[in-house]
Structure 1
């Protein structure tokens, strides 16, 4: 019989974090729109920021879509297309390794910059520092789960356990027993990832949702030289 802690983490905890994400985001955009900013420290230090930010953003986008495919595409579908498990896992590890590696290198640079540069560190809030460390730890855990826990537990197939549980969250019937036998590194990675979602609206990360869509459809701004008198 599963422990009550398992039931809490795999039945209640995900919804607490997701509710915090949705309601926190709505409240921040509705009542504190001026605070939705990345608070750039580019003027204090630019070189490490540009390299780290580019690598991190490219990597995290690849990782995000990799997670979406891994969770939302059932094993039944790839089996129907005739894609063998070892080929699927080979591409998943390759893509995840590239995306996760880029995100890790970028986050290492950004975290080193934020803690080692005196001016950047002084301009950082406690939330900024926590976000950097949290993202770094979560990325490391994700890579460790894929390249250490996975090969160490050959009988474990996340597509038949973790991914199924994650999809069940969307229709409010998560079977927490699917997560009981999941390797610990995967569990910690999921807990940390959900925590980032939960605290997302209250940190600088919320700026990722403030995309300037108005630039797509706004009228062009015409600049004319002032006529000489």
Structure 2
């Protein structure tokens, strides 16, 4: 695994560096394969990244947007990951709705996981997967002590019925499916994340450390 770590003293440089890296991968992917498949993360940390990402110059019609996980809440709910992504990024872009693959979590975890598995057949490999990391080492909706989907026969999408953080019902890409990414980028910010980021760097066993890219795995940490 090619692991790279980037540490920043402020959130602006943190976001700018991530956006530059995404833009770099997008250019290569579009030139070599005709499309750029990116997995978006939820949570607070990616918001500043998304607000800057929408300003880059790129061939937006060639982008395809996926989601690493989703909360089982009504469509358009303020706490959904796709709602945040739309309000901070997607609503500002010249992209068609067919380019955005939201997880239909309003259907419930079991039905939504089955439907999203069908969508994923159009993307055998993601180009970039953005992931957060919780203080307990969880990423997407893969929590310690729960099913991670890391065995050879694991499904691409997991129905999460008992997440330790509300809401308990969620849908998440499995560990195995997230590893089908050319580059995995972990994003973490704030003093409370410092310890878990150091543990991730050291390779301590946790849900996040079991996910790595086919070519690159990168950890971005902002102290504030």
TM-score, normalised with respect to structure 1: 0.28
Highest Rg: 1 or 2?
Answer: 1
Per chain length, whose mean CA-contact separation is higher, i.e. which structure has more relative contact order (CA < 8 Å, sep 6+)?
1
